Amino acid sequence: MKLRYFLIFESLALAMLLGSLWGGVATHFSSETYAQFFRLLPIAPAIVVAILPILYFALPARFPRERS
């Protein structure tokens, strides 16, 4: 289940990153109206793509304490 959520969220973040990069290239060649927006937009998904594996796999699992 954890792997499924990771794959879903990582795919969404990668799709956002690739979409924003594609939009930045498209506006670069057509007009400079949204150029600054598309220069800054890929930063957020790139950060998410880098942090998601850490959040899903590097953090220890929290088990309930045993009662004695």
Lookup: tokens for 45: 């998904």
Q: What pLDDT digit, counting tens, does each position of 11-68 carry?
A: 998 898 888 888 777 755 556 677 777 778 888 888 888 888 888 888 776 766 666 6
> Under a CB-based contact definition with an 8 Å cutoff, are residues 47 and 40 in contact?
no
Residue 27: the pLDDT is 56
If one counts every other C-beta atom within 10 angstroms of the C-beta of residue 45, the result is 19
- Segments making up each domain of the chain, as ranges: 9-58
Residue 64: the pLDDT is 66
Residue 11: the pLDDT is 92
Angle between helices 2-30 and 43-53 (to 10 degrees): 160
